[in-house]
Amino acid sequence: MNKITNDIVIQKAKSIGFDLVGFAKADKLSDEINRLDEWLKQGYQGGMKYMERNIEKRKDVSLIFHDVKSVISLAVNYHSNYKYTNNKNFGKVSSYAWGKDYHLIIWEMLENLESELMEIDNEFKCKSYIDTGPVMDKAWAVKSGIGWMGKNSNIINREIGSWIFIANIFTNYVFDYSLQIPDFCGSCTDCIDACPTDAIVLDYVIDSNKCISFLTIENKGEISQSFSDKFDGWLFGCDICQDVCPWNIKFSQPAKIKEFNPINNNAEINLKDVTEMKNDEFKSRFAKSPISRTKLNGLKRNAEFLIK
Ligand code: SF4
Ligand code: SF4
């Protein structure tokens, strides 16, 4: 008999700080991979070449963890009530990057959860991912009943909205599987209508080549002047399609984990300071922040684009 039950996982995960927990059978992700293939065919991945790799592993998680039976999907609320001042001399940072890097926080939480579960049963084996590796995080969150995928491609939970990070634990354990949540977007098109660059090209489909989030973070090249006047002051990432979502407007709650609140005034950054920033300063200010991902050159490119 399983020594680790759904209830035990939920109780342990919540006591560590996870907000949502769901369980899915680790079946192959055929429909999801067909949609990914179509997205790649259209070139919507932009420069994110890593999305083209390891398709087989994304489809069949047994190729990354041989004994896998189940997926435990976990979500952590990162919402903060901080409001932008909208001072034109400052660039806005997407709220997921205001505080300490979520990878650092959530890895520690995952390690704690894994060891607590292994203490109960040393036959419990697992492999965890948080936004890394060839794993379809959002697909597993949907299958585990964490939420549905909104037309803006974010996972939305009925109780707390979409300001959540998703992590997944692949395990050799069998659990009772959660029911999937229906799609509650209905006839709403608020995110599509609000996107300043028309990056939501179809319901649930984002063209990264047009998305401010991609253009300011993963993008290694220049930003086309065709987007000038469309960036709405975004220096790193973009939250517009989540800000306007009625599920966030009605149901978002402040995160329990205070390390996601703004640190080092990183929610809005003086653009001129960025253009004059030296590498040492960039490294010390953003060492533990997701903003480090753009490197100094990327952040300067973004600041110069906004100043033009
Ligand atoms: S993140 Fe911004 S640019 Fe990208 S789809 Fe959402 S609103 Fe559009
Ligand atoms: S804004 Fe409307 S359409 Fe877009 S994700 Fe939210 S509920 Fe769905």
Task: Provide CB contacts within 8 A for 36, sequence distance 6+.
Answer: 51, 55, 58, 136
Cβ–ligand 2 distance for 301 under 6 Å, the answer no
Token look-up 């090249």 returns 221
Q: How confident is the model at residue 195 (pLDDT cuts 50, 70, 90)?
A: very high
**Mean pLDDT taken over the chain:** 96
Check 131, 190, 203, 243 and give the catalytic one: 131
How would you class 147 by CB atoms within 10 Å of its CB: exposed for 0-12, middle for 13-18, buried for 19 or more? Answer: buried
Which of the pair, 254 or 308, is modelled with greater confidence? 254
Torsion region of 44: left, alpha or beta (phi above 0 gives left; psi -120 to 50 gives alpha):
alpha
Beta bridge partners of 22: 73
What pLDDT was estimated at residue 132? 85
Task: Say whether 60 is catalytic.
Answer: no
CA 269 to chain centroid: 22
Nearest ligand atom owner, CA of 227: 1
Cβ–ligand 2 distance for 195 under 6 Å, the answer no
**pLDDT (mean) for 166-183:** 97
Phi, psi of 174 (to 5 degrees): -105, 135
Nearest ligand atom owner, CA of 149: 2
Cβ–ligand 2 distance for 185 under 6 Å, the answer yes
Cβ–ligand 2 distance for 152 under 6 Å, the answer yes
> In angstroms, what is the span from residue 132 Cα to ligand 2's centroid?
26
Q: How confident is the model at residue 308 (pLDDT cuts 50, 70, 90)?
A: confident
Which of 238, 242, 244, 248 is the best mutation target for the ligand 1 pocket, counting ligand atoms within 8 Å of the beta carbon and taking the most?
238
**pLDDT (mean) for 246-262:** 97
Residues 142-156: tens digit of each pLDDT: 999 999 999 999 999
Atom of ligand 2 nearest to the CA of 194: 1
List the residue whose alpha carbon is closest to atom 8 of ligand 2.
Answer: 185
pTM score: 0.96
Nearest ligand atom owner, CA of 95: 1
Cβ–ligand 2 distance for 113 under 6 Å, the answer no
What pLDDT was estimated at residue 35? 95
List the residue whose alpha carbon is closest to atom 5 of ligand 2.
Answer: 150
CA–CA dist 97, 262 (Å, integer): 8
From the CB of residue 1, how many other CB atoms can be counted at a distance below 10 Å? Answer: 3
Two tokens, residue 212: 């401010």
Residues 111-150: tens digit of each pLDDT: 999 999 999 999 999 999 998 889 999 999 999 999 999 9
